[in-house]
Structure 1
Amino acid sequence: MSLVTEEIRSSASEYYKGHEICQQKSKQLLTEVGLPNGLLPLQDIEECGYVKDTGFVWLKQKKKTEHRFEKIGKLVSYAPEVTAYVEQNKIKKLTGVKTKELLMWITLGDIYVDDPPTGKITFKTPTGLFRTFPVSAFEVEEPAKEVKEVNGAGGAAASKEVEVKEV
């Protein structure tokens, strides 16, 4: 059963469908609230939304996925539906995210970074257990936009910038 109802969808400040836009918006939201942009590396996202009044966020993907954060060596499982409440520097009441610890899958409930920033991020379970890691392990470098020189065009054409306006 989905936690996201039509009532929640209709009250959403932001609602998007499609992997590319949802991936972009989820990274943007994480950055806006002071969290690393690589916390939710979901695959094939179908829809996402954000209710600004309550801080409720949801992301729906086609199927459950697993991701290994190589810098810390942790395997994380993301359910088809991930929900949470976001605040500045915090994710609370997180659902749909588990991490493998020894031989068991452990549900995560809260994620937060310290204020003022210490470079550490803490993951907390609903039972109160927690683990702290470097924030850098969850940051994803955004690819820089490359300008390619066209043969025979010279440097003048390559340095020309293109302005894109959103409608």
Structure 2
Amino acid sequence: MATKVVRDEKSGAEVVYGAEMCYKKSLELLEEMGLPNGLLPLKNLEESGYVRETGFVWLKQKKPVEYYNKKIKRIVVYGTEVTAYVEKHKMKKMTGVKSKELFMWIHLTEMSIGDASSQKIYFKSSFGVGKSFPLKAFELDDDKE
């Protein structure tokens, strides 16, 4: 009989607590991965963690947050726990993020930036369908945020 070893996804993580520190760390991570700073507009986080070795990241908050991105005219809901595996210009295996398209909520599972010249970010749903938007639509305006 073979023994199966299960590794905890959060093993070896750098974990921070408190809204201010978690928000700061999420911005630093987005910058390090070359992703726009407005992808995770979550200012009331309780806990966040990042496992550099595997790229696993999680963000926890008390209640879901509904965010309206005026630049793309879309509502995005971030659940009580958002998780993903991050790498340069990409988040994959995402959980806890959904967007409203027409009358349906679509769970987002991946986001990526193509080559730097495209200036587009591509979002993929759990159905495998995707949509792209201008990168600058996900940049925070310092004077407004």
TM-score when normalising by structure 2: 0.89
| Aligned residues with identical type, % of pairs | 53
The alignment partner of 1:27 has SS state of helix
Alpha-carbon shift at residue 31 of structure 1 (Å): 1.0
The alignment partner of 1:24 has SS state of helix
Query: How many residues end up aligned between the 2 structures?
Result: 136
Alignment RMSD: 1.3
Alpha-carbon shift at residue 11 of structure 1 (Å): 1.6
User: Which range moved further: 32-41 or 114-123?
Assistant: 114-123
Structure having the higher strand fraction is 2
Alpha-carbon shift at residue 41 of structure 1 (Å): 1.0
Residue 78 of structure 1: aligned partner: 78
**1:2-55 deviations in whole A, cap 9, x for unaligned?**
xxxxx544520x210000011011011011111101101124200000000000
Q: Is the 8 A contact 1:9 1:15 kept in 2?
A: no
**Matched residues in 1 for 2:42 and 2:116: separation?**
29
Letter in 1 for 2:103: L
Q: Give yes or no for the alignment of 1:29 onto 2:32.
A: no
**Matched residues in 2 for 1:51 and 1:27: separation?**
16
Q: Give yes or no for the alignment of 1:11 onto 2:16.
A: no
**Matched residues in 2 for 1:19 and 1:40: separation?**
13
Greater relative contact order structure (CA < 8 Å, 6+ sep): 2
Q: Is the 8 A contact 2:9 2:56 kept in 1?
A: no
TM-score when normalising by structure 1: 0.78
**Matched residues in 2 for 1:8 and 1:92: separation?**
15
Q: Is the 8 A contact 2:98 2:107 kept in 1?
A: yes
**Matched residues in 2 for 1:116 and 1:39: separation?**
17
Residue 4 of structure 2: aligned partner: none
Bigger radius of gyration, 1 or 2?
1
